């Protein structure tokens, strides 16, 4: 069993790599929980349902993520596609929350 999580460059075994990936996945889910919490807040704050979908904001969020990914040496297009799905899921969630709050 691994006592301490190793950074990727310090991993020597697949067990260490997998432990790092599993921990990173747990952290990503926690971050997604926070992100979707902001979608709940947006649904509560926005008075007009039509304002939930903001294509200019969506494009800016995806572009910023893709730029940060490229600067970090990650595949820009793959991150842009991932963020496209994330933002669309966030918008769908926000619509659901907007509707739920106004029933």
Report yes or no on 2 lying in a domain: no
Tell me: the pLDDT tens digits for 64-76? 999 999 999 999 9
Report yes or no on 5 lying in a domain: no
Report yes or no on 7 lying in a domain: no
Q: Taking residues 47-63, report their average pLDDT.
A: 97
Report yes or no on 4 lying in a domain: no
Task: Give pTM, 2 decimals.
Answer: 0.91
- The domain that holds 78 is classified in CATH as 1.20.59.10
Domain, as residue range, for 17: 12-101
Q: Would the pLDDT of 13 be above 90?
A: yes
C-alpha pair distances (Å), 2 with each of 12, 14, 20, 38, 74: 12, 11, 10, 35, 28
Q: Would the pLDDT of 84 be above 70?
A: yes
Report yes or no on 17 lying in a domain: yes
Number of domains into which the chain is organized: 1
**Above pLDDT 70, what percent of the chain?**
97
């Amino acid at each position: 069993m691994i006592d301490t999580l190793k950074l990727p460059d310090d991993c020597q075994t697949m067990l260490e790599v997998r432990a790092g990936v599993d921990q990173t996945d747990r952290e990503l889910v926690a971050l997604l929980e926070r992100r979707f919490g902001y979608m709940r807040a947006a649904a509560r704050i926005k008075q007009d349902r039509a304002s939930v979908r903001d294509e200019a904001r969506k494009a800016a969020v995806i572009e910023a993520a893709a730029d940060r990914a490229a600067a970090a040496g990650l595949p820009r297009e793959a991150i842009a596609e991932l963020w496209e799905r994330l933002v669309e899921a966030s918008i769908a969630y926000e619509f659901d929350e907007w509707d739920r709050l106004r029933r």
